[in-house]
Structure 1
Amino acid sequence: MAFFGFKNLSSLSDVDMTIYRYVTQNVNEVVYMRVRDIATNANVSSSSVMRFIHKIGFNRFPEFKAYLKNTNLHTDTSSLSFKFVDENSFPKDIESRLIVVANEIYQSDNVTTLGMGESGFLAEYAARRLASLGINTTPVSDPFYPLSSKLKNTTNDILLCFSVSGNSVELIELINDFVNNEDVTIICITSDEKSSIAKMSRYVLPYYEETHRLVNGNDLSSQVPVMYIIEKIDSILESMLSN
């Protein structure tokens, strides 16, 4: 979106674009500057600044500054921050849980990562990273996948499940046959430690993130905490494998 409502950027000269970039990148400072201050900081002349102001539709410099002060472009960026993951995103014992789970994966013969919908992409991501470490891993995102047949003649298996709600019906049906199977360890990564899938699992890696669903049902919940868990497990495994 163009600043100042000015969209015809192709009509601006190189000098104009220099001023444009300086102003749009320093809005909070420019609102308190004089023409010559802008000119000095942008390394152009004062007359160039005034020509630019006229070209983008303002008759006078005070009019230009008033626009900057009153528009939503004038944002206090000091209040903005990117806080995706911190200690409040997980239970206090998350580190010890991660070590236990990484050790289970390390000692397993087969790992199947499971996820439906958006969580299916995370299952594939986790499988690829584990495979890169030499772990025998298969991703499954198909609710009709013949998982029982696949694991029929295997032992020491891990089902690593991804579910935001922890109540995915398709995933529950897929892992239900293995709940009491001593050869299969179910591990889930979910935002709800009290969910159905969490209760079916031997180990739970929970995270705390507000669920965000659109009116049409599409899930836009942040998956950043899940990515952290996946990559932390990989990091622990890498250390184990290097020793």
Structure 2
Amino acid sequence: MAGPVGLELFQNTFRGHENQFVLIGGMATYLATEEAGLPLGRVTKDLDIVLIVEALDVNFAKSFWSFIKAGIYENKMKGDDGRQFYRFSQPQASGYPKEIELFSRKQDILVDGEPGDITPITFDDEVSSLSAILLDEDYYGLIRSGMRDGVCWADASILIPLKAKAWLDLRQRGESGVAIDSKKIRKHLRDVVLLLATIPENQKIAIPASIQVDIKQFLAQAAKEAVDIKELGHAKSVTYSQVLDQLRATFL
């Protein structure tokens, strides 16, 4: 499967480990829109990976650290806040993902084989938001269901609730005085609109009641926003209000 730099290499390297991780974020959004024949509209350079801690084994850890070593990643960073977060960037070897961000609900899940030159970092707001979502059993269960197609990636039925929750969380943090890039907040809202274009209008998607509550809150807040949907995959006659109606009909 052709795609952004490093995706096919990652897919081939971790074939056989598909039950141990799920791709989310921008790369999963790219895959979902690519499958539907819609342009994402931005370059995706990074892999966001959620580890399925219940399924991890020592072979995955060995393969992962071998992949990082072979990529000769210049920057290797680790955050630890009751959860585990790794960030690797600037690979010196060609063909490797430009950035890898890896999330785990548990600490020290990949400690065996971990390089000694990892720099400690604190969680930024976007990482803190996703890490908090991972601690929620219903959202984690939703992510775990995203296992498909050689690379285990979250499709639109999973990404839409995740991005709606991230948008709510980051927006609330911004309103409370935390300095957050407004572009990062708006990206999640636009992705929800775009991803809805990949779902048939009459399709119903079952989600846990707690996530339905978040979707209702998202709809109430998103209705106050102005979003130009011309380049977000919907028919020219469709309005932003109709997109929100589709979201309501699909998930509630």
Q: Which bracket does the TM-score occupy, shorter chain normalised? A: under 0.3
**TM-score relative to the length of structure 2:** 0.21
Query: Which is higher, the Rg of structure 1 or of structure 2?
Result: 1
